[in-house]
Amino acid sequence: MLLNLDRKTVQQHEVGKESKCPDCMAPLVARRGDMVVWHWAHYPGWSSRDVCGHCETGWHLACKQAYLSFPGWDIECPISAAGQTFRADAMNAGTARVREFVHSLSPHYLAKHKALAGAGFDVLWILDGSEFASLRSKSCRNGGRKGLLKPRAYDFVHSVGGKALVHYSNKLWRLYMANVWYPCTGPASLSVLEKLPRQAAPQCRENAVSCHAGRGISFKAARMWLHDVSAFSSQENDLDEEIEIYEV
């Protein structure tokens, strides 16, 4: 987590003062590493770690830190809706926008989406493409990507009415139709991307061919697959931005 009970980041917290978890009230330790965003964590072996719900990847922490830097946005915000209290990853109270960052799927997400949407919030889910992108996706016209998400991830996107973006290959992708996605090109999206961590490049051609060949794919099919990759990398998206992520 980035904020403790006092809603202070590691950088803002007074050294030597006790820090507690906002959910379980357990003491926290400051993590000040070079590889991951500075954050709060439970002490190793603490009994409440599994029930408190704060277990996040470096990507998730970086997304929250990005939104914390945008005007009007706050993170880790408790919201009451449908008789329950939820914690939003990021929220803009002025515009009633909520952003959730997803590295792993939970059966509780759909209920959370329905409750917040029913309370009037504009909820958008941002998925980690390094976890959910399918190796079987193919390029399509104008720089799009067909079959970008794995089936279970796309089922979730479909269940929330397509209110999702995918952070993949250092781009934010929006749904066009039936698991066909196009990169966002608007200024809001680009501003967010500047703050997000760089992702590893998609599987290279040589490794991809070797992988497919190892599964028994023919040389002709592998060559056709490489042609799709080349077409995808050379095409430019000429579609207008449909989803603005934040308001300055």
Residue 218, both tokens: 């023919």
Mean pLDDT of 217-240: 42
| Between 201 and 172, residue with greater pLDDT | 172
Over residues 125-136, the mean pLDDT reads 94
Q: Higher-confidence residue: 230 or 94? A: 94
**92: confidence class by pLDDT, cuts 50, 70, 90:** very high
**Does the model's pTM come out above 0.85?**
no
Domain boundaries, the chain: 1-55, 58-201
Residue 87 is encoded by which pair of tokens? 């914690």
